Structures are given as C-alpha cells and as structure tokens.
Structure 1
Amino acid sequence: MQILLVGGAVRDMLLGRPVTDRDYLVVHADHEMFQGRYPTARLVGKSFPVFILDGCEYAWPRGGSLESDLLLRDLTINAVALAEDGAIHAHPMALMDLQASVLRPCSPASMRDDPVRVFRAARFAAQFPDFSPSPELLAQMREAAGQGLLEGHAAERVGREAAKAMAAPKPSRFVRLLAATDCLRPWLAELEACRGVPAGPAQYHDSDVLEHICRVMDCAAGDALLVWMALAHDLGKALTPPERLPRHHGHDEAGVAAAEALGRRLRLPMAFIEAGMAAAGEHMRAHRYRELRPGTKVDLLMRLEARRLTSRMFKLVACDGGEVMLPQVRRELRAVLAVRLPEDKQDQGEASGALLHQLRCEALASSVKSRG
C-alpha cells in the first residue's frame, strides 16, 4: 500500500504557500486493507467513497491508477501528488502551468465530466489572482453553459465554491470569469440581470451594475461575509423599469427579495442570507446616516446590531463610494447601547419599549451634540 499527498496541498507546497487542507490518495490497496491498517478510519460517500481519518480524506484513484487519476482531475495545477519518498507525480502540464501561472483543464472533457468544476475554476481565479485562464478553460466553460450542463446539480456544491470565492483575495474574478463565459445563469441569474444596466447617473457611475458590484467586492476583500454583502447590495438595480434609468429609486427595497433568492438557491448559511438581505435593504439608508433623524438612526442601528452587521454595513458604504462614517457610528452606537430603563419603568410592555426608544434617541442626540 502507498499513500500520497495529493491536490491542493501539494500545489500550495510547490507555490510556497501555507498548506491547510490535506487530501490523500491510496494506491495498491483495497478498502479492507486500508481499514485493517487504520481501524479508526470512517468510510463516507456512496458515488465516490472516501475514508476520513484525523480530519483528512483518503480516496482511491479515479480510473484505477495514479496516472489516470491525475489526468481526470479538474485543473492541471491541482493534478499533483507527493509520494512518501518525496517523489513528485504530476499531470504532464501541471508543473509548467504552476510556473507560468495558468489555469488549464486536465483534459478536453474536464468541465463536461463534472460541470460544477466551472464554478471551481472561477473560484480558483479568485483565489489565485495572478493566474490566467487558458483558452481551453474558457472554451470548456462556454461549452458547458451553451449545452445547458450547469443545471440540475447539488446546490450545496455550487454554493460551497461561491462561499470560498467570497473569502478569496480577488473575489470579483469569480464573477468576472463566470460572466465572461456566460456561466452566471442559472445559479447566479441575479448577477446576469445586472449586465448592461447603468449603475447610476454618469456623474456618479461610469459602469454597469455588474462592474460596480465587482469593484465593491474587491474593496471588501478579506471578509467573506462583507464581500457577500457587496455582491448583494445593488441587485435591486436590475429590477428598475427601463424608463427610470439611469436612476434607481427604490432599488434597495426591491433588492431584498433578489438577495434572499440568490442566497437560498445556493444553500448558503443563514448568516450570509440575512447579511445579503440587510445589505440590499439598508445600504442606502446607511449612506444617508448623517442626515437621518435620531429616531431613524436608532432604529437602523438596532436592526443592524441585532444581526451583528453594524461595522460591516458602514464598511460597505465606504466601499460603495460613501463617506467613512464608522468611527462616528461606533461612538453613537456605544451611547445608545449604554441606555438602561429605570427599574420602575421596566416590564410595562409597549410603554417600556417607547420610553427606551426615547431615551436612546436622547443619548444619541447628546453624543452628536457633545462632538459638536
């Protein structure tokens, strides 16, 4: 029996990057032999069974051999294996593509064999912003879209790639590559609808909504949840009636349902779905924060704080071309949260709620006045 470290861990070692997840390939052994040597290993999966041992996956070669497995993987840069004796086994193009920073499919049928690899390739474009997609990759992605191969897959698989892309250094490349190859539909149809729609009047915007979203995503890079908020914040602009363009009055309220639909279609965690909805519905109000009356400010802060999105919302505003207001917002939020009802005014239903709201408004107004 031989066990080889395979895939992303070896790729990252060769690129001099930190290694996080480790996957292994088992050759010259069957499941019984492996289980006998590692009795605590747990077998999972039906269509592609793997063993889980100490948090790592142990799989068997696709096609029956190490050489065939490397040829059947998604991208050449991931088709590398490290043997226990230190020997490197690789797809014929893998080492060259790693050196040249190229994203290339392992075979002419890579995307057709598993069309979810389209989203995986787009995620790697975001994860490795210095790597360029090869003409073969672009062609295979377009072919998968043109033949309707992107439909009918497990939503969790597509959503997992999208979520990983949100955590990447250049998240817009996930969207840009999918858009360039006509792969946004059906999974990210709300983004496809943003293409060609002016982001706003010319004095404020010089691009369509999709390009604007991509720019805001990259500004938010480093915080996956904030990047998702950036992706979702202007989806409502695609719903603006053509006769109203280039203005988008009411796009914030209109975008809430679009953000929810997208998040649920991808089976994203509830924290992402709620953050996307809040970004769509509240970002314009947050842009106007300094103009709001104390009561409206308090209501906005309480809604955001209930979801722990206050800081992220105002970072989104700054990335969206708005003012940097986070220091002021944090100061005023502290003043609001410090308010406590007198004991004799507690537990009185609506009356207590109304008094608490009034006291919070007074505390916020006092904080503003003290800063003069």
Structure 2
Amino acid sequence: MKTYLVGGAVRDKLLQRPVHEQDWVVVGATEAEMLALGFRPVGKDFPVFLHPETGDEHALARTERKSGHGYGGFTVYASPDVTLEQDLQRRDLTVNAMAETEDGEIIDPYGGQSDLHARLLRHVSPAFAEDPLRILRVARFAARYQPLGFSVAPETMTLMRGMVDAGEVEHLVAERVWKEVSRALLEPRPDVFIEVLRECGALAVLLPEVDRLFGVPQPPQHHPEVDTGDHVLRALRQAPAELPVRFAVLVHDLGKGITPEEVLPSHRGHESAGLPLVKAVCERLRVPNPIKSLALGVCEYHLHCHKAFELRPQTIMKLLRALDGLRNPQKYEQFLLSCEADARGRLGMEDRDYPQVNYLRAARDAAAAVSPQALMDAGFEGAELGKALDRARIEAIAALKDCYRA
C-alpha cells in the first residue's frame, strides 16, 4: 500500500502557485483496508475516502472504461492490482497526470513537466475523447493559466473538435455544464474560456446565443471594436471576479444576435429582445435565481445606466424599483459594476472615466435616506404614505441631480 499526492496539487507546486486542496491516490489497497485505518468513505461512483485527521481525499487507484454517453458513462475498476501509471493515464491533461511520493520525488510518466515548461495544455491519451466534460475543463484551465502563457496544444484542440462533431457535448447534463461555466467565469481570464469553447465548436452547442454574437457588427462610433462577440469578451476582461456580475456581462447583449440584417449595425431595442434569450440560457443551464435576476436586469436596463445623466428623477426611481435597489443594495451594486464593465469593454475605452455609476450610487443613497417615519409623523398613512414616500424620494434624486449639474 503506497500513497501519492496527485493532480492539481503537484501541478501548482511545480508552478510555484498556492496549493488549496490536496488529493491523494492509494495504490495496492482495498476498501476494507482503508476502512480499517479509519478512513471515511464518501465516493458513490468509485472508492474515495476522507483521511481521519486531515480530511484530505484519498482515492483508490482505478481505471475507467467508456460504457455510455456523457460525463457519467463509465465503468470504473478499482483494485489493488491497478498501478499508479494506469491511474494517471485516465486523467485529462499531462500537467494533471503527475504524482509525488512521500519523499518528494515527482513521478511523471506522460510528460507533464515538459508541458509545464512549454506552457501547453495537452491530453494524456486518446481516452480524453471519452469524456466531453473535459472540453470545458480544458477551457477553464486555459482561462486560469493564460496569464502564465499557457495555451491549448494544437492536437488537443483537434481532438476536442472531433468530440464536438461526434455529438458528445450534447450529452452533458445542465448541472455539470453550469458548474464548469460558473467556475470558469471566476478565473483570471474568463474570456479565454469562451474563446476556447468557440474555437473547438462547443460554444455553438452549449451557448448558441453567445456564439451567434461573433461577426455581428455594431456602430463603430460607439463600439470601435465593431464585432459584438469581441465586445463581450472585452467586457468580461473588465468585469470584477464576482459570478453574478460576470455572468450578467456574458449575456447582456444577447439581443444583438437576433437583430435583422437589414438594420445592422443598429441594434435599437436589443435590450428587450435579449430578455427571452437570457431566460432560455438560464433555464437550460439551471442558473440560480439570484444570478438569473441580475442578468435579466442588466440585459434590460444597461442603457439606462449609460444614459444616467439624461434620465429624469422619476425614471431613476423606476430603475431603483425594477432592480429592487432599495431593499437589495448588493444586487444594485452588481448591476452598476456590470454596466461599467460593458462601458469599458470597448476598444480604446478600457480606462475611460465612467461617472454614471457614482451618480446612480448617490441617487440610490439619497432615495434610501428618505425617512418613512417622518412622513408618518406628518400624518401620511396607507396608500397616501406610499405616494408621499415616492414623491420625497424623487425630490431627493432631483436635488442630487442639480448638484451633479452644478
């Protein structure tokens, strides 16, 4: 019985990056032996145990054989006779197929260290093609490690295209897709995730609403980059690493993908046109409701933010109500951050000042500062109290607008 540190912990140690989780593989052991040592079983599909003291995951060495479609279509064989090399061979990328002994020796049968130096994400074996979820994982790793110079190996990209053409991606379940998308959107370069999926053809299968944005022109006076898909990628690069914000930025312009060709490059009404598309994406991927709600709000109202100084106080009050800005200031702030990323996600405008967000923050604070108790003390109640509260809030926003004009 021998235990080895494997996977991402080995990779990140060699890259001199922080290691957040440690996974171990155990060779030459049985389930009964692991239980006798006090390990707690947690695996459903294959034998995985938690260490009785550290809580680290320890999996018995195993092999996998394709037996169906999709992520779960595998027959797993775990036995004391499975070697470390056999276990590593079933992994996705060479940089994830290394192990470390208790003495610190690196075991690297598939060239992971060489690919780390070459900054390549390369598949371990043709068995990569048996699991379509690996396409999303590769795209996610590309989004994480692009700042270090990593890219997808050409032969791996070719293999992923073949998997897409074979229809394997269509068998992925929504929960697994959303898990990978949500993790990838929080990586340092979420735009690279989208680019890799597009290059291999998976984007057209998983997010066709996003895929069709590429090649759609916009007015160059507002969008010097012209291409709508390019704009979305630029906006993703500007967005802070908050999942609701980055997802909202990803889908905020979906309406531009269905603009009739005869009116291009104009996209009048794309905000309302995009709402059914955003809903469709969220329902298909089973996106959590708070994230869906923000995405719909950004899609419908991002132009309101861009035109904030042109809006009447009454319209700003309607915007606050539509976004539940008084009761949910976090959602309102995420709306503003999404719109700011949209505004700066344009060629040459990345560092341009965007005072609209400060104005709309101040407007929200001014409206929130109006005291219902003061109005009740003045004799207002029932429906009249609600109307008086609205009037007072609109007046507070109007006074603020005068200050900004001054």
TM-score by length of 1: 0.93
- Look up the match of 1:318: 340
Contact 1:170 1:221 in 2 (8 A): no
Contact 1:314 1:324 in 2 (8 A): no
- Look up the match of 1:50: 48
Which residue of 128, 132, 139 corresponds with 1:115? 132
Question: 1:12 aligned to 2:12?
Answer: yes
Which residue of 66, 69, 94 corresponds with 1:76? 94
- Look up the match of 2:403: 370
Q: What is the correspondence of 1:183-194 to structure 2 with a 5 Å cutoff?
A: 183-194=202-213
Q: Which amino acid aligns with 2:105?
A: A
Shift of 1:279: 1.6
Which residue of 222, 225, 233 corresponds with 1:214? 233
Q: How far apart in 2 are the matches of 1:355 and 1:116? A: 55
Contact 1:127 1:170 in 2 (8 A): yes
Q: How far apart in 1 are the matches of 2:262 and 2:382? A: 47
- Look up the match of 1:89: 107
- Look up the match of 1:134: 153
Shift of 1:131: 0.3
- Look up the match of 2:264: 245
- Look up the match of 1:335: 366
* CA RMSD of superposed structures (Å): 2.0
- Look up the match of 1:66: 84
- Look up the match of 1:294: 313
Q: Which amino acid aligns with 2:139?
A: A
User: How has the CA–CA distance of structure 1 residues 275 and 65 changed in structure 2, closer, same or farther, with 3 Å as cutoff?
Assistant: farther
Shift of 1:5: 1.8
Gaps of 5+ in 2: 64-81, 345-353
Q: How far apart in 2 are the matches of 1:293 and 1:113? A: 57
User: How has the CA–CA distance of structure 1 residues 370 and 203 changed in structure 2, closer, same or farther, with 3 Å as cutoff?
Assistant: closer
Q: How far apart in 2 are the matches of 1:142 and 1:345? A: 70
Which residue of 143, 161, 170 corresponds with 2:162? 143
Q: How far apart in 2 are the matches of 1:83 and 1:105? A: 23
Contact 1:101 1:131 in 2 (8 A): yes
Which residue of 88, 106, 116 corresponds with 1:98? 116
- Secondary structure (helix, strand or coil) at the match of 1:26 reads strand
User: How has the CA–CA distance of structure 1 residues 289 and 49 changed in structure 2, closer, same or farther, with 3 Å as cutoff?
Assistant: farther
Over 6 Å off, 4+ runs: none
Q: How far apart in 2 are the matches of 1:213 and 1:183? A: 17
Contact 1:229 1:279 in 2 (8 A): yes
- Secondary structure (helix, strand or coil) at the match of 1:321 reads helix
User: How has the CA–CA distance of structure 1 residues 191 and 345 changed in structure 2, closer, same or farther, with 3 Å as cutoff?
Assistant: farther
User: How has the CA–CA distance of structure 1 residues 293 and 25 changed in structure 2, closer, same or farther, with 3 Å as cutoff?
Assistant: same
User: How has the CA–CA distance of structure 1 residues 283 and 22 changed in structure 2, closer, same or farther, with 3 Å as cutoff?
Assistant: same
Contact 2:240 2:337 in 1 (8 A): no
Q: How far apart in 2 are the matches of 1:219 and 1:89? A: 40
State the Cα deviation string for residues 39-74 of structure 1 (Å, max 9, x = none): 5x132323x342244553222223222101211101
TM-score by length of 2: 0.85
- Look up the match of 2:73: none
Shift of 1:363: 1.0
Contact 2:306 2:356 in 1 (8 A): no
